Amino acid sequence: MLIINVVTHTPTLLSEAKALAAELQLPYSNSIEQTGYSLILTPDHLCLQHNTSKSLPLKIDFLAGKSAYRRQHASLKREALARAMGLKNNTHPKIVDATAGLGRDSFILAGLGFEVTMLERSPIIQALLADGIRRAIADPIVSNIAKRLHLISTDAKTWLTELPATERPEIIYIDPMFPTRTKSALVKKDMQIFHDIVGEDPDADSLLPLALTCATKRVVVKRPRLAPHLANMTPSFSQTGTSCRFDVYLKTK
């Protein structure tokens, strides 16, 4: 069983950390434990630390690293995801990211000018996402981008099932957990932590047909480049990159 504690080293954040622990139904600890993970609240951010690893903790940061690089270089023509979604300038489709994860693809879509509803069922990942969005909104460079992200803590299948017909989105994006690689060196630190916290996506196959009943125009599924189609359903077409591909399922009237 994976052990996760909420920790803060800042006395003024003690009540906030304990409230977060209660909200997430996790134990609060006065110090880093010898096993498991610690969800650490600092004055600047919320992060997740593997207690026995020397690697840096995981925090969701839209202001630096790959997110910043992609934002600075993104365009509708350059981003394979945008092409797969059929996005064009001066259009305003409703986009739902049904498996928000670390939020990187949603942030890129928001950076291209689109509003994105993000669904995340892991309360811990959702808390990290909410913290990352909060910090991005406070930054004058990306504030307008972050304000286009609308995060909901929910299971996508439940949310889509209960969605009124009048509110159905044009586009639903699904990025299920990639199968665990056998060579650990190929698994990046943040994704390894993500795998540990979220686990596999055994119900991903059932999400695709549900999404197809809800989306009014298309469903886009991100897959490893050589992986089989999700739910063994053949897409209308695919956009293939060096390491992944986007399978596009067009709705027919």
Please give the full DSSP string across 143-175, using - where no structure is assigned.
Answer: HHHHTTEEEEES-HHHHHHH--GGG--SEEEE-
What confidence score (pLDDT) does residue 183 get? Answer: 47
Which residues in the chain show pLDDT less than 70? Answer: 1, 178-189, 253
DSSP state, residue 22 = H
pLDDT for 83 equals 95
pTM, to two decimals: 0.93
Burial environment of residue 88 by CB neighbours within 10 A (0 to 12, 13 to 18, 19 or more) = exposed
Can you tell me the distance from the alpha carbon of 229 to that of 221, in angstroms, rounded to the nearest whole number? 9
3-state SS assignment for residue 95 = strand
Written as six digits, the tokens of 72 are 């600075």
Collapsing DSSP to helix, strand or coil, 244 comes out as strand
> Is there a contact between 102 and 177 (Cβ–Cβ < 8 Å)?
no
- For residue 23, the SS3 value is helix
pLDDT digits (tens, 9 = 90+) for 24-70: 999 999 988 878 999 999 999 999 999 988 778 999 999 987 787 78
Cα 11–Cα 16–Cα 22 angle in degrees, nearest 5: 125
Model pLDDT, residue 45: 97
Q: Check residue 253 and give its pLDDT.
A: 67
How distant is the alpha carbon of residue 171 from its chain centre? 16
E strand spans, the chain: 4-8, 37-41, 46-50, 95-97, 116-120, 149-153, 171-174, 218-224, 237-240, 244-250
- For the chain, domains (ranges, CATH) are 4-50 (3.40.1630), 65-250 (3.40.50.150)
pLDDT at 218: 98
Helix H or strand E segment including 64: none
User: 243 in helix, strand or coil?
Assistant: coil
